[in-house]
Amino acid sequence: MNWKQILLPYTQAVEELKVKFKSIRSEFISLDEYSPIEFVTGRVKKISSILEKAKKKQIPEDEIEEKIEDIAGIRIMCQFVEDIYKVIDIIRARDHKDLVIVEERDYITNTKSSGYRSYHIIIKYPVQTGHGEKWIFAEIQIRTLAMNFWATIEHSLRYKYKQNMPKEIQERLNKAAEAAFLLDQEMAEIREEVLKCQESFQQESNLIGDIFSSIQFLNKKKNKKDMNELYEMFWTLWEEGDMHKLKEFSESLEHTV
């Protein structure tokens, strides 16, 4: 088998899907809205892992592309469990537009016995190649940061021990999975407060950016003494931490500009 030729479309699909979901996140942020997507990663399964899975599931080599659905994998991380379902809605809205949803697997409601929690969506995605359009399978995993931390550790241990995970390690993993679940629950309880703080920080950041843009523009028009006074005024207001006064200062600069 020419693995380089086989995996090339999967690599292309991963890169395209990463760009699409990162663009969705950027759009939310550009509009000063909260983004349910925290960050996005992707990977193409290693050849050794593909062959190992094919052997385990008794899949002939010539049927690998038809029967292994996670050769291309995208992982979308969210801050809160509620965000996962918002991302799911975003993906469902794209169904039969630039991708086709094949199957959804809810391992959040139906947690695996190991403690694994995540939401998987299997899609078929069209890749434009030099030989024409090719539809391939890809798996999108959507999970919280806590779920991802646990899953990353569990995957490393399972890879090390294969099918011989020591009982003590498995018990500790189960306890850690419960701790990750409780963390997500706690974060859900304080979600509104966290979002308010993040929104306040974003507004403050935007305001400071506007002030500096105005000051830089005025730097071309005003003398050094006037500019020093403006900077001193800004730093005084900044140290006071009074957002109302900073807003008034920003508005006064806009009128000057």
Q: In the prediction, which pLDDT does 257 show?
A: 59
The letter for the amino acid at 92 is R
Q: In the prediction, which pLDDT does 98 show?
A: 94
Report the catalytic residues: 139
CA distances from 208 to 40, 211, 235, 247 (A): 28, 5, 11, 9
What is the mean pLDDT for each group of 10 consecutive residues in the chain (257 residues)? 91 97 94 92 95 93 95 97 97 96 97 94 95 95 96 88 85 92 91 79 80 78 75 82 81 74
Q: In the prediction, which pLDDT does 16 show?
A: 97
Confidence (pTM): 0.79
On the CB side of 177, how many CA atoms lie within 13 Å of its CA? 20
CA distances from 224 to 37, 198, 215, 228, 230 (A): 44, 36, 12, 6, 10
